[in-house]
Amino acid sequence: MYARELNLQADASERQSTQRWIGVAALAVLGIAWLVGWHWATTEKLANIWWNIGTYAHGMVVAPISAWLVWRLRHEFALLVPQPEWRVLPLLVMMLGATALGEIAQINALAHAGMIGALILFFWLIAGTPFARRFAFPLAFLLFAVPIGDFMLPTMMEWTADFTVGALRLTGIPVHREGQRFTLPTGSWAVVEACSGIRYLIASVMVGVLFAYLNYRSTLRRLVFVAAAIVVPLIANWVRAYIVVMLGHLSNNRIATGIDHLVYGWVFFGIVMFLLFWVGSHWQQVAAVESAAAPALRRAQIGIAGPGKPIWPAALAFMGLVAVFWPGWVLLNNQPGPLPNWAALTGPAGWAAAADGPRDFTPAWKGADSSYAASFVSGARRVSVRVAYYAAQHADNKAISSSNPLLTFDDADWHTVGHGKSPAALPNGVSMNTARLNSALSDVDRVRAAVWHAYYVGGRWTDSATRAKFWETIDLLRGRGTRIALVAFTALDDGSVTAAEKLEQFVPQFAIGLDRVLGTTEK
């Protein structure tokens, strides 16, 4: 009799829980639509990245996989009563603030991470801590939808070049290296973005984390396998690059130099990943099947009892915060400012403008509202000046962005062989970033150049992209818009005077007049 009464109570409680979960699902759909609507531009950028950039194409399947992971545990919903978790609100404020800041500063990674983080916390807010604890992995898995990883490209390209060149030399093949490019007796090679292995790494980590969650119960085993999913693709990509170069070298560049280069890479990566998961399957742990018996007792173990509190106030609080943290009012103030008067720029004493203008390195900057390009000569010395001025930045014309570099990885004319800092060359003793470049010509005709470059934001000079981005954001919050200039000085080595010596003689004097001209746009 007692058992029957307990089962009847459990059935009634489960029906009540089901009704509440239906309400939670409806509020979740409404909250997602509300968040997407207020941040449509960010959502659209996110979808475009997933669709158009192969490195982050996996983002399109993250949400379906997360939903499937939740569906696997659907029996748990009958054992949980959703209750709002108000202690999440401070974290939610931080995530929505990060989204707004990312949109204001045009930092896509911050905006996307903040938005997806806010979505995860929204589920936690309306469903409660027991739900978030039980479904922690499916919720956290949504973070793989954030397209982040471009910052690793230079380092991973350098590692790939280091291993490939080292392995070739160990094989006995003579190699001459300049930056990410190297020359063998049979031809020249370059480690470009596609050779970095970033695609392999991101795909391997996501799939490895999912595999570890589904196949292991031990935290140690999961951590070991995830570590392997990070290390193995890195080493595999280095070996892949070496094999491709060796195939090209041994075949006198008849194979592994065209589309088959990529085919060999993906085939090799597929084989390596298959072996990784095959080995990992030998330590598989079968997950215990949750018992459907005694739901009332299970609910007591989870820590939920009673009918629960209303959920709609938490959803309304979320929707109110989304509206409050919408940065549109700031972005509307981003109106174009006045353009610099380039005609006022003159060369320093002893330097005359060259009639033929710049004829050396051209930065890859794009989307500028106004630009300046000129060359100045003094005897046999020659220095080129290029300035890209952005009067009001938007998504398609960001000055500071990984898509707006000084030099692209696949530039056909120049490649970087070194970086550094210049002596104090700008007003107020600010130094500049330096890049040493080599042309892609033959060794006989090779041209070597030095480029000094920096940023001008809100009347201030800096050699730091991070600091420039910070000042740019502060100016926008103050209603001053996002006016910024990218400045580069270039000189070539000519055998008599080094490029660095030419720049040291020219830049400090010219920068005084440039500072004055750019300063007029701040008034």
Asked if the structure places residue 472 within a domain, the reply is: yes
Work out the end-to-end distance of the chain between its first and last CA atoms, rounded to an integer number of angstroms.
86
Same domain, 162 and 143: no
Asked if the structure places residue 418 within a domain, the reply is: yes
Question: Could you say which residues of the chain have pLDDT below 50?
Answer: 1-9, 288-306, 442, 444
pLDDT at 13: 55
pLDDT at 279: 86
Same domain, 132 and 220: no
Domains: count for the chain: 3
Asked if the structure places residue 295 within a domain, the reply is: no
Asked if the structure places residue 287 within a domain, the reply is: no
Same domain, 108 and 176: no
- Tell me the one-letter amino acid at 295: P
Asked if the structure places residue 144 within a domain, the reply is: yes
pLDDT at 281: 83
pLDDT at 207: 92
Same domain, 127 and 164: no
Q: From CA 42, how far away is CA 469, in angstroms rounded?
A: 19
Asked if the structure places residue 309 within a domain, the reply is: no
- The residues pairing with 111 across neighbouring beta strands, listed in sequence order, are none
pLDDT at 310: 79
Same domain, 214 and 157: yes
Asked if the structure places residue 313 within a domain, the reply is: no
Same domain, 346 and 478: yes
| Residue ending a domain, choose from 327, 360, 382 | 327
- Cβ neighbours for 334, distance < 8 A, ≥ 6 positions apart: 392, 393, 394, 476, 481, 482
- Give the residue from 119, 153, 111, 151 showing the smallest Cα distance to 138: 119
- Tell me the one-letter amino acid at 311: I
Domain that holds residue 351: 342-522
Same domain, 141 and 159: no
pLDDT at 412: 72
Same domain, 53 and 140: yes
Same domain, 79 and 207: no
Same domain, 409 and 469: yes
Radius of gyration of the chain (CA): 29
Same domain, 180 and 115: no
Which pair of tokens denotes residue 211?
């595999």
pLDDT at 331: 65
Same domain, 168 and 59: no
pLDDT at 64: 95
Per-residue three-class SS string for 130-158: HHHHHCHHHHHHHHHHCCCCHHHHHHHHH
